[in-house]
Amino acid sequence: MLQTSRRALFRAAGVGGAACLIGVPMASPAAAQSLSRRPYYHYSVPKGWKNDPQRPIYVNGQTYYYYLYNKDFPSAVGTSWRLVASDDNVAFRDLGDAIAKETNPNGSIWSGCLVVDERNTAGYGAGAIIALATQEDRFAPAPHKQAQFLFYSTDGGRTFNRRDQVALANPGVVDFRDPKIIWDEARSRWVMALAENDKVGFYHSNDLKSWTYVDGFIRGGLGVFECPDLFWMDSDTGPGKWVLGVSVNAKHLGLPANYAYWTGNFNGSNFIPDHQEPKWLDYGWDWYAAVTWERRVNGQIDPKTRYAIGWMNFWDYANNTPTWGSDGFNGTDSIVREVSLKWYGSESALVSTPVRTLEARASRRINLGDITVDGRTVLDYRGRAYQIQTRVTWNQLQNLGLQLRLSNDDSRHIDAGVYHDFAYVNREFTGNPDSRWLESHTPFDPARREVNLRILVDNLSVEMFVDDGRYVHSSLTYPENADDRIALYTDGGPAVFHDVTITEFNPAVATAYARIKNRATGLYLDGMGRTTNGTDTGQWASSSGSNNQQWVVENTGSYVRIKNRATGLYLDGMGRTTNGSNAGQWASSVNYNQQWVVENTGSYVRIKNRATGLYLDSMGRTTNGSSAGQWALSSSNNQQWTIEAA
């Protein structure tokens, strides 16, 4: 009955005045529809398949993040460990496979974890990077084949060698996987947490090569545990706590299917929880196999904050994604979060907020001020990838929220808000991967009459942080590319949406520059060293060391601007609407001549100017130094380009 009331509101015609957004350009729906579905500021696998994150480590001041990867998807199964690196935990640079599928005769490598062996306990050298991961032991009888194997790296985690002996053999159970290792400083030994059906087993080791079982934490009825986590956290608001986490599917109990956790005490061998029922770090449908890791500031561990990242998908529908057909990939991650331990009276809980470095990647902020809504107000803004923040206050009402990725006919949207005594994200009225799990809920005290909402929207996801991260909803969504509006709504009375702020971000590409290559000529778009406004943009054969061939693609909402590294000028349509006219360069401006749409055509893209309506065209010119042109839409290879990391 509660959902019926909201849905009736969502289907109703809009009421209330429109909130004007001065100076914010509106995108053409036709232009937006042709864009790629790839997430803009969230990490996604370059091609093929990704799933479980592996706990990142620090190498030479960078975050090294490994994940399960299948280059052969969908024709073959099995995973390797792929490596990406980041300076800010927002943009990641792909470094290729670190542990291949067939590194040893046991086949694919599954989830595990890495540690930096600073004390040389394993004997591979101080600072060697050790990976413990699950594989199927080829010598063990079915179905008890899951066992833990060791791999080691002496080149800083770029490649790994195998150790053929089993590090931890299967004791005769079906589920025996996903080791997570920490160093116990007080007792000078390693501790492993291992997922064993409805139990987390604890093991000790002095050398990472052999392990001894000591105890286990059992919680039946939730489901099969995966990807355990174990760490200590200090707190600003009360005493510190040990935290034991697992990924588990508890949908059959009306609970989430992601990261459950317990706070408690751990003496190096056994974990005593403060509470029997789990708490959840996320309440949405798509934050599975999440990992946390240490936050470091100037090389020192921050004892009060950890980072976290989760796989934005779930096994119920993991293969049900339109991105394989549109972009040739299946797999994206949540934004990295900062996790802290907060006390609410006598109870402690983990809270999480987007990593603070995300704000440093902002390309534009739009502040709309305070907006009073009594019914529905559509914002004069269009975009597919952004953050929207607001504090909402009211005296009396039943329902309030935001309609995100709203279609022009109002029929498709994602709804995020508060209904009486719960906050929610609803994906029923947009493309989504599943017909059953459509709305996520978290508790809300209606007597408060105030809520803070911070919502991250990208091409494939919505992440809502309620009241500074006290509760989080992360869900996979598949909106149409043309659905790019936002509406604010209330039911049962007015509300004030205070300080409504929209933030757009630069793309999450750690390699800040790209090269743009023409399919027909094989030449690259080139700034030619020309720094005068109005000069032509050229083309030149590959010159990987030249900054003239390196460009930054900047997000401006539904359009991009393309800036040359060497000249500092932007690719510009120059207002030229005649077929064959040259594309130019100009210093930064808000003119539509500098705004482009990148249209996906399969293996290539077309690049269309907003002002002229013409497409970037090589004109078939194969001579170094020839100008790049513009032409009306055609099927010619002259209009087809690839955008490569520089």
| Residues annotated as catalytic (active site), given as ranges | 52
Q: Which residues pair with 373 in a beta bridge?
A: 495
Distance (Å, rounded) from C-alpha 12 to C-alpha 411? 10
Question: Residue ranges of the alpha helices (H) in 56-214?
Answer: none
Q: Which residues pair with 215 in a beta bridge?
A: 202
DSSP state, residue 33: H
Do residues 241 and 279 touch, judged by C-beta distance below 8 A?
Answer: no
DSSP state, residue 468: T
What is the SS3 assignment for 594?
helix
The single-letter code of the amino acid at 325 is G
The DSSP-derived string for 390-421 is EEEEESS-SEEEEEEEE-TTS---EEEEEETT
Do residues 428 and 438 touch, judged by C-beta distance below 8 A?
Answer: yes
CA angle 210, 214, 215 (to 5 degrees): 135
Distance (Å, rounded) from C-alpha 240 to C-alpha 244? 13
Dihedral pair phi/psi, residue 594, rounded to 5°: -100, 10
Distance (Å, rounded) from C-alpha 445 to C-alpha 462? 23
Strand 439-443, strand 422-426: pairing = antiparallel
The single-letter code of the amino acid at 297 is V
Where do we find the tokens 């997430």? 39
Distances (CA, A) of 412 to 37, 50, 182: 17, 28, 46
The total number of residues written for the chain in this structure: 646
Question: Residue ranges of the alpha helices (H) in 393-471?
Answer: none
